[in-house]
């Protein structure tokens, strides 16, 4: 089966994005397409697969996101901005409610965060603290700045659903080997955490990048179904919420959230709704043959590259200390 797609990224989180509104495939086939197209050894590569899907009710359109291992995520906020852009362009609108797997989010075309960088503001939440809903079986209802005994780490974590599950630890300096070790314990889907979780180590940085006053966060994430990633939008939202919840940063104030892929602007409201404003960058357009049953892809054709957008984002990312 041949698919047209856009290769895009949000804050360095890169994906093939397919307009699937007129494509009828069972979930197991979409999982196979995701494994084929996200495979970094294959012709496309990415952190997962994004789908623009038909909306229902008050949602103008919907987003589906499949991880590189074929599992479907509840959301992907970096990917949501890219799906929003495709939906805006397809429907001729600049704001919408978007249906996600288990929730919804509001998106709006925002002022560009830098010259030539297409920007979308997304609002999702409310962030939730009930770990029984994950489920995370640790004998408590919520975890805020506390150890997670079955995890086997001495770190204090805050457990946040955004709506996908996140364990956030604030650290003086990020130890990637430790982060990977903790992430892999979650990725093993133990009895106490059967649906796994994303794990983030977060540095509080007393600086700004020249365009957003106040302190900044640097977030490094081991993403469920992906592994160590340069960027995870819901992890940045969960980390910003955890920083406000624990008194490190202020509610209703601009926060710069940095990562290996670039940055977003965040605001955390007291009702636990989190807004992120960040890029939705097109890199190139193409088409590819995929056999969903085998998870193999080939016959890639590249139609065009978005050189100006790529350069605009590179300038911003470099200025942010990428």
Active site amino acids = 76, 232
Question: Where are the extended beta strands (E) located within 93-215?
Answer: 95-99, 104-109, 119-124, 158-161, 165-170, 198-205
What is the rounded CA–CA span in Å between residue 241 and residue 210? 22
* DSSP structure string for 40-55: TTSSS--SEEEEEEE-
Residue listed under structure tokens 């495979």: 39
CA distances to 21, 107, 118, 224, 256 from 85, rounded to whole Å, are: 15, 9, 9, 25, 22
CA 312 to chain centre: 21
Region of 253 (left: φ > 0; alpha: ψ -120 to 50; beta: rest) is: beta
DSSP state of 176: H
Q: Please, which residues bridge with residue 204 across strands?
A: 217
């Amino acid at each position: 089966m041949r698919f047209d797609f856009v290769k895009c990224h949000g804050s360095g989180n890169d994906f093939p994005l397919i307009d699937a509104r007129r494509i009828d495939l069972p979930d197991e086939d979409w999982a196979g397409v995701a494994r084929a197209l996200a495979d970094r050894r294959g012709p496309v590569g990415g952190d997962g697969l994004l789908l623009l899907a038909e909306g229902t009710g008050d949602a103008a359109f919907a987003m589906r996101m499949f991880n590189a291992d074929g599992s479907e995520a509840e959301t992907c906020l970096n990917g949501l901005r890219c799906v929003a852009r495709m939906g805006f362009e397809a429907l001729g609108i600049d704001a919408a409610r978007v249906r996600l797997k288990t929730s919804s989010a509001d998106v709006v075309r925002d002022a560009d965060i830098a010259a030539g960088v297409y920007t979308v503001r997304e609002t999702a939440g409310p962030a939730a603290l009930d770990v029984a809903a994950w489920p995370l079986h640790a004998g408590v209802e919520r975890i805020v700045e506390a150890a997670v005994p079955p995890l086997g780490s001495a770190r204090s974590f805050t457990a946040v659903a955004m709506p996908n599950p996140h364990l956030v630890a604030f650290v003086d300096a990020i130890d990637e080997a430790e982060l990977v070790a903790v992430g892999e314990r979650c990725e093993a889907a133990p009895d106490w955490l059967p649906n796994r979780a994303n794990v983030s180590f977060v540095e509080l940085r007393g600086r700004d990048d020249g365009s957003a006053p106040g302190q900044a966060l640097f977030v490094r994430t081991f993403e469920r179904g992906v592994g160590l990633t340069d960027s995870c939008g819901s992890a940045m939202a969960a980390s910003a919420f955890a920083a406000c919840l624990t008194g490190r940063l202020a509610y209703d104030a601009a926060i710069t959230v940095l990562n290996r892929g670039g940055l977003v602007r965040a605001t955390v409201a007291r009702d636990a709704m989190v807004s992120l404003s960040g890029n939705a960058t097109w890199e190139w357009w193409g088409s590819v043959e995929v056999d969903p049953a085998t998870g193999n892809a080939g016959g890639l054709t590249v139609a065009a590259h978005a050189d100006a957008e790529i350069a605009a984002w590179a300038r911003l990312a470099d200025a942010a200390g990428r």
